[in-house]
Amino acid sequence: IDAVVSPTISADINNYFTVMSGYLVFFMQAGFAMLCAGSVRSKNAKNIILLNILDACFGCCAWYLTGFAFAYGDPVPYEQCNGLEGAELDACNAGPAILGGVSASQGFIGNRWFVMSKLPRENYWFWFFQFTFAATGATIVSGAVAERCKFEAYMLYELMIVMFVYPVVAHWMWSSSGWLSPFRTPDTKTGSYLYFAGSGAYDFAGDGAVHMVGGVASLVAAWVLGPRIGRFDAAGNPVDMPGHNAALTLLGVFLLWFGWYGFNPGSAVYWTLPGVDHASQVAIAAAVNTTIGAASGTIATLFIAMAYQYFTLGVVVWDLIIAGNGALAGLVSITGPAGFVQPWAAFIIGGIGGFVYFVASKVNLHVLKIDDPLDAIAVHAGCGIWGLLATAAFAAPGMVSDVYGARADNDEQRAYGFIMGGSGAVLGANCMAIVVIFAWTAATMTPFFLLLKKLNLFRVSPEVEAQGLDVSHHGGSAYPHELAAKGVNINGDS
């Protein structure tokens, strides 16, 4: 009986694990749809659900056309295929598949495998898994623009972000040539490895690439779009505008939490490694940390909000919607650090994540006066940033090694969290990631949304907004019986 795992069976198991994780990440679309549906007024329920299902659909087209190519289409280094001909050249150009060697000149963007052309079929697992991430990132914005955005504008936005904006960031952070990536392979010109700040940015499951991109795009979109009618009174004070169905909202939270077990553990992308015992402990630690982060975020947010209300208004309120957002805040916060930190740190990270969410939400509403119906900005941008910082603080040396292996250039221990006794390298790289992801997303999406606004394509008319988007644009109310209750005859419905 051999104690090692054959490469073939190892790859089979890893691909199963990753594809199954992709299914769970896809399921998050159902969660987002229900979360959004419950959080808007009933007159706009169909609209927001349509945005959500089209996130998956346009996201798929966009990822097929250019998204995957820009993100992971690293070319094989010229040196490697030089001198080959015919089928051998084709094979060389096609391989070594995912995360293969590449020249540093491709640090900004990938450039092959458009429309899956020449993508070897044994790499489809990666295409699929990464598609689910792209679609998840894109769907975040649907909450921020809810109840007032033109449907046509949202379709264009979806193509913009999945075809171009997100893939570039994914390339920087996760590809084998991205300039911030800890997966970088050697520069083919110099032969040297160039980890940014000596470490590269650490982002286990996408606090930067997914949540910050979605969150910053939400910020820009909600700012350009302006608040819903009635969200602020004449004095500029916010007016409460509750969603129509808290049960749907929380169903969404539960579905998202479940799907996150694909998002975070799945980001290990392997379950076994030939010659390594218990390689799965990276993914399993991510599952444990995800659970703890969510639990901690929920409880912290619930108590923070209760205390806030108690000290400002003198009443004790245990707010379900805020608790649900707290769960999401915890989940987003632990997304970046999931595979790198120990369970006790996950409690801290989730709890602080709840605090970050709560403060960011208040600042957003009361100071910036931005109307974000789903609190997408606070949850995804706020906690996304926090998650990248937390990774730089709490990443444990042994766990970093399990995730990334030794440094590829000198075979030494990778950098790790400064609270754990490590250097500031990860902090430097992750701060750079925060800055450039914020800048890139804002710099690309702001002109895009401003142009839509200029062309009068972005926001529905006040009349349509007052009446609701469903009756105006989507073939009638989501709940025709409500109309019946108002005396409108709905074909015999009792």
Q: Which of residues 292-331 bind its own copies (CB under 8 A)?
A: 292, 294-296, 298-299, 302, 316-324, 327
Q: Does 491 bind its own copies (CB under 8 A)?
A: yes
d(CA 5, CA 112) in angstroms, rounded, equals 33
Give me the least distance between CB of 232 and its own copies, in Å please: 11
d(CA 381, CA 389) in angstroms, rounded, equals 12
Q: Does 268 bind its own copies (CB under 8 A)?
A: no
Query: Contacts by 184-190 with C-beta closer than 8 Å and gap 24+?
Result: 184/104, 184/408, 185/99, 185/100, 185/101, 185/102, 185/408, 186/101, 186/408, 186/409, 187/103, 187/104, 188/77, 188/78, 188/79, 188/80, 188/101, 188/102, 188/103, 188/104, 189/103, 189/104, 190/104
Q: Does 460 bind its own copies (CB under 8 A)?
A: no
Query: Which residues inside 87-116 make contact with its own copies, applying CB under 8 A?
Result: 115-116
Give me the least distance between CB of 10 and its own copies, in Å please: 8
- Using left for φ > 0, alpha for ψ between -120 and 50, and beta otherwise, residue 288 falls in alpha
**Beta bridge mates, 149:** 459
Q: How many residues bind its own copies (CB under 8 A)?
A: 130
Give me the least distance between CB of 139 and its own copies, in Å please: 12
**Beta bridge mates, 276:** 273
Residue whose token pair is 């930190």? 341
Cβ closest to its own copies, residue 272 vs residue 430: 272
User: How many C-alpha atoms does 343 have within 13 Å on its Cβ side?
Assistant: 8
d(CA 243, CA 399) in angstroms, rounded, equals 41
Q: Does 26 bind its own copies (CB under 8 A)?
A: yes
Contact criterion met (CB below 8 Å) for 158 and 59? yes
Residues 15, 66, 139, 391: which binds its own copies (CB under 8 A)?
15
Type of residue numbered 241: M
User: Which among 2-10, 161-169, 418-426, 443-451 is the span making contact with its own copies, rule CB under 8 A?
Assistant: 2-10
Q: Does 478 bind its own copies (CB under 8 A)?
A: yes
Biggest CA-to-CA distance, the chain: 79
d(CA 327, CA 322) in angstroms, rounded, equals 9
Give me the least distance between CB of 370 and its own copies, in Å please: 18
Cβ closest to its own copies, residue 306 vs residue 431: 306
User: Which among 12-20, 188-196, 380-388, 423-431 is the span making contact with its own copies, rule CB under 8 A?
Assistant: 12-20
CA neighbor of 261 nearest in space, from 53, 61, 23: 23
Helix or strand (DSSP H, E) at 448: helix 425-454
Query: Which residues inside 142-171 make contact with its own copies, applying CB under 8 A?
Result: 151
Cβ-Cβ contacts under 8 Å for 136 (sequence gap 6 or more): 25, 28, 29, 32, 210, 214, 263
Cβ closest to its own copies, residue 179 vs residue 257: 257
Q: Does 475 bind its own copies (CB under 8 A)?
A: yes
Cβ closest to its own copies, residue 150 vs residue 171: 150
Residues 246, 368, 431, 464: which binds its own copies (CB under 8 A)?
246
Give me the least distance between CB of 432 and its own copies, in Å please: 30
Query: Which residues inside 270-289 make contact with its own copies, applying CB under 8 A?
Result: 271-272, 274, 277-281, 283-285, 287-288
Residue 238, helix vs strand vs coil: strand
d(CA 331, CA 354) in angstroms, rounded, equals 10
Residue 341, helix vs strand vs coil: coil
Residues 245, 325, 335, 364: which binds its own copies (CB under 8 A)?
245
Residue whose token pair is 């702001």? 446
Give me the least distance between CB of 257 and its own copies, in Å please: 8
Give me the least distance between CB of 429 and its own copies, in Å please: 25
Q: Does 35 bind its own copies (CB under 8 A)?
A: no
Q: Does 34 bind its own copies (CB under 8 A)?
A: yes
Cβ closest to its own copies, residue 211 vs residue 231: 231
Query: Which residues inside 54-73 make contact with its own copies, applying CB under 8 A?
Result: 54, 56-61, 64
Give me the least distance between CB of 43 and its own copies, in Å please: 5
Q: Does 39 bind its own copies (CB under 8 A)?
A: no
User: Which among 6-14, 160-168, 370-378, 406-414 is the span making contact with its own copies, rule CB under 8 A?
Assistant: 6-14
What is residue 269's DSSP assignment? -
Cβ closest to its own copies, residue 288 vs residue 442: 288
Query: Which residues inside 224-243 make contact with its own copies, applying CB under 8 A?
Result: 229-230, 239-243
